[in-house]
């Protein structure tokens, strides 16, 4: 009986030794989870910032008795995250929107007459914080809608006859005439990717133009502003 107990004890010790050799040492929690956490952070970070080309085939202005169509070229900076599921909306930061007429000759009246002349150099610049968002409307293939709402300042080197006098009756100003949108203009774009690649934007409605120091007097209107935004 005593011999059987000794054999049993040796067997238990032998089995315990085998188990001790096959157990994997515990890994500290920080070391075990840090690689996975890093991978999740990298894969979920889709936020980007990019300077993009801003162009218009023809901004149409109503100034005085004439309509002017002005091709524009410029740039804009967009920053934001891409929505990943249909119906999801993300906020997009828009800044440094600047454009100008391609050449003074491009800022010409739609219909020439003896009383009309070229506007010379025309500049367009964002003058308020922009409000913009990006909504996914379809996942495969991806489709997005991006409304872009911002105030604009328009500088005109040679305004139509009588327009400068209407703004400044004393006629003391010789620098370009500066007009601003009475309310922000809303451009609506339909995108296949973000940042936009050749995306087309259209104004939701015309907006009035007023002198920069007199928002109660309407001087003109932006009748149309078709825009293409693309990578540089």
pLDDT digits (tens, 9 = 90+) for 9-29: 444 444 444 333 333 444 444
Q: How many CA atoms lie within 13 A of 159 on its CB side?
A: 24
Q: Is residue 52 included in any domain, yes or no?
A: yes
Our count of domains for the chain comes to 1
Residue 71 in domain:
yes
> What b/e string do you get for 91-118 counting C-beta neighbours within 10 Å, with b at 16 or more?
ebebeebebbbeeeebbbbeeeeeebbb
CA atoms within 13 A on the CB side of 158: 14
- Model confidence, pTM: 0.75
Considering only CA atoms, which of 76, 28, 37 is closest in space to residue 55?
76
Domain span at 94: 24-231
* pLDDT, tens only, 104-133: 555 555 544 444 468 889 999 999 999 999
Q: Flag whether 15 is in a domain.
A: no
């Amino acid at each position: 009986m005593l011999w059987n107990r000794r054999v049993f004890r040796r067997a238990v010790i032998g089995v315990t030794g085998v188990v001790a050799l096959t157990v994997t040492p515990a890994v500290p929690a920080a070391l075990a989870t840090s690689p996975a956490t890093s991978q999740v952070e990298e894969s979920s970070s889709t936020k980007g910032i990019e300077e993009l080309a801003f162009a218009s085939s023809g901004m149409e202005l109503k100034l005085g008795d004439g309509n002017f169509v002005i091709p524009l070229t410029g740039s804009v900076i967009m920053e934001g995250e891409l929505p990943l599921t249909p119906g999801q909306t993300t906020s997009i930061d828009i800044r440094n929107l600047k454009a100008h007429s391609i050449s003074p000759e491009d800022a010409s009246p739609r219909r020439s007459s003896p009383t009309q002349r070229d506007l010379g150099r025309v500049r367009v610049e964002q003058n308020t914080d922009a409000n913009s968002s990006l909504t996914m409307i379809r996942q495969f293939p991806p489709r997005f809608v991006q409304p872009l709402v911002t105030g604009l300042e328009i500088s005109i080197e040679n305004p139509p006859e009588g327009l400068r006098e209407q703004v400044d009756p004393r006629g003391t100003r010789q620098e370009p005439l500066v007009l601003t949108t009475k309310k922000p203009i809303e451009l609506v774009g339909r995108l296949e990717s973000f940042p936009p690649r050749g995306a087309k934007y259209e104004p939701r409605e015309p907006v009035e133009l007023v002198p920069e120091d007199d928002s109660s007097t309407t001087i003109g209107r932006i009748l149309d502003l078709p825009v293409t935004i693309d990578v540089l």
